[in-house]
Structure 1
């Protein structure tokens, strides 16, 4: 079998409904890695709240954060495959001011290390840093690092209006992605940024053909990745739009170790379930 690149989303895919990695999933991914394939995490999360999963998996490969805006190997700052695409600071501060006219509950500006928000206290949520308070931001704030993304949190029914007004103001200078779940938001990133960008970059870096990329996801922000991969797999619990473009759908959900079971069947890994 030719060398494969396996790209795995985190939430709703690799993680169960309690945002946990199971032993079956960890051991299956290590078995795949031991067969000589590359495994990369490709997530919408910033690195600060995906680090624990990267460390727990301990695969040593790359991770792409912010839906492909940042690709790196943690602990290897000189890795020649690293890239980081940021937003213009002046644009971000203008959006912070414009946000006051929108039906947005609160806003967050994400850097690689720092988090800014228009609220001093953020709601309790697994996506926010528990041990790090945000820096309160307004249009006059001097940003200490180049921002990567801006997240605008609101009810789902308000998102089309918010997205339309932002695009009317900034046109093609940005890309807006949708996050669902318990904390729905719109994520503003640089134009042309999506998970497929990370896949294209990693496949070139490792010399792996596009047809040998397996990608797993469940949500709207996985669409380009699933479509780009030679074998795009939607989770059973994924949205219908993703299932419609996928090459396959897992027989089991993320809460049933669906990713692990699919990989066990695909690579004919026999003994992981007994050892998990």
Structure 2
């Protein structure tokens, strides 16, 4: 079979509802790699929150973080690496509206650093088990970030997204993370996963028609549309399903990606 680039979203797609890779999913993705295909993670997560899955799958491929704002080959120098920043003024502007937007916290980061507006919140897992300290409070942000994360109530997510888009649409894009919490990610305007997947495909000289992508959420739509074969998860949003060529029979809790890929690649 022709070599494929297999672009996989994490939350709601490769990961189950417990944010884990099941043994079957790991097995199928590793068999795909052994068959000569390239498996690349394309996630909204920063590298520090996706590194464990990269290692678990024994990947050696480039990956997409921050929804395309960072495209890199972990642990190595890579000529095609790309990182896109936006103005830190936007971070401080949104911080000033924190109460009005009913935000739980605001975080800003790039590849190597992260800053957050409070250190007493329960979701410290967002920082890879590193408890935030005074040193990484948002007031210490001196450089332009790659990404911002803000969290609000689920019923406020759409309202907050619309307000941020209305204010900053000339400079940034806002997308939702898959998963149980209403986490919104903000990256530079025009950045999305398809941008990163294209960089990786071009680096391996893989035609667009030989890209298969899996996703479930709003931030996967452009990638599903761009890929030669886009596959939305059965548990995916209506927008993801509308952009895809096909939909898995099973959800992310039922190894939907692994089940589909095993049949698609005949491995």
TM-score, normalisation: structure 1: 0.89
3-state SS, counterpart of residue 108 of structure 1: strand
Distance 2:251 2:168 in 1: 38
Shift of 1:87: 1.7
Distance 1:145 1:58 in 2: 33
- Residues 65-109 of structure 1 show CA distances to partners (whole Å, capped at 9, x for unaligned) of 111111111110x21121111122233233323435422222111
Distance 2:185 2:141 in 1: 19
Distance 1:100 1:22 in 2: 39
Q: Could you say which residue in structure 2 is the equivalent of 1:123?
A: 122
TM-score, normalisation: structure 2: 0.92
Q: Could you say which residue in structure 1 is the equivalent of 2:175?
A: 177
CA distance 1:74–1:144, shift in 2 (3 Å):
farther
CA distance 1:264–1:164, shift in 2 (3 Å):
closer
Unmatched runs of 5 consecutive residues or more in structure 1: 270-276
3-state SS, counterpart of residue 90 of structure 1: helix
- Residues 29-49 of structure 1 show CA distances to partners (whole Å, capped at 9, x for unaligned) of 121112221110001111111
Q: Could you say which residue in structure 2 is the equivalent of 1:266?
A: 264
Which stretch shifts more, 228-237 or 27-36? 27-36
Q: Could you say which residue in structure 1 is the equivalent of 2:241?
A: 243
3-state SS, counterpart of residue 227 of structure 1: helix
Distance 1:85 1:29 in 2: 29
1:95-174 aligned at under 5 Å gives the runs 95-124=94-123, 126-133=125-132, 135-137=136-138, 141-174=139-172
3-state SS, counterpart of residue 99 of structure 1: coil
Q: Could you say which residue in structure 2 is the equivalent of 1:274?
A: none
Q: Could you say which residue in structure 2 is the equivalent of 1:86?
A: 85
Question: Number of residues paired by the alignment?
Answer: 265
CA distance 1:124–1:87, shift in 2 (3 Å):
same
Counterpart pick for 1:231 among 229, 232, 245:
229
Q: Check whether the contact 1:210–1:230 (CA below 8 A) recurs between aligned residues.
A: yes
- Residues 223-252 of structure 1 show CA distances to partners (whole Å, capped at 9, x for unaligned) of 111111110001111122211221111112
Q: Could you say which residue in structure 1 is the equivalent of 2:73?
A: 73
Q: Check whether the contact 2:124–2:131 (CA below 8 A) recurs between aligned residues.
A: no
Q: Check whether the contact 1:25–1:260 (CA below 8 A) recurs between aligned residues.
A: yes
Q: Check whether the contact 1:236–1:251 (CA below 8 A) recurs between aligned residues.
A: yes
CA RMSD of aligned residues (A): 1.8
